[in-house]
């Protein structure tokens, strides 16, 4: 993004209530919402589908890192950053 490489780390999750329309009836559901942080990295060499990275920012040792679905996380974050409520 904008010439910088990133990985994504999970920084929190919480339950949120949502109302959805299904067959013209309102349905209340509880969903888990996740919050991610974009962490800048420097890419190194790539081999057999893996790429070496160097973190450009210190992260907590227990932080969970996104290993699948990073494109989806990036799209959702970009969508939220572009719109103000």
Asked if residue 26 has pLDDT above 60, the reply is no
- Do the beta carbons of residue 42 and residue 13 sit within 8 Å? no
Q: Give every CB contact of residue 56 below 8 A, 6+ residues apart in sequence.
A: 39, 40, 41, 42
Cα 70 to chain center, whole Å? 6
Asked if residue 76 has pLDDT above 50, the reply is yes
Mean pLDDT, residues 53-72: 90
């Amino acid at each position: 993004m904008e010439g910088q490489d990133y990985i994504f780390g999970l920084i929190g999750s919480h339950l949120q209530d949502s109302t959805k329309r299904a067959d013209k009836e309102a349905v209340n559901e509880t969903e888990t919402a996740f919050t991610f942080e974009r962490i800048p990295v420097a890419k190194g060499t790539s081999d057999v589908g893996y790429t070496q990275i160097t973190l450009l920012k210190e992260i907590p040792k227990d932080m969970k890192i996104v290993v699948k679905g990073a494109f989806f996380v990036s799209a959702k974050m970009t969508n939220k950053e572009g719109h103000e409520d």
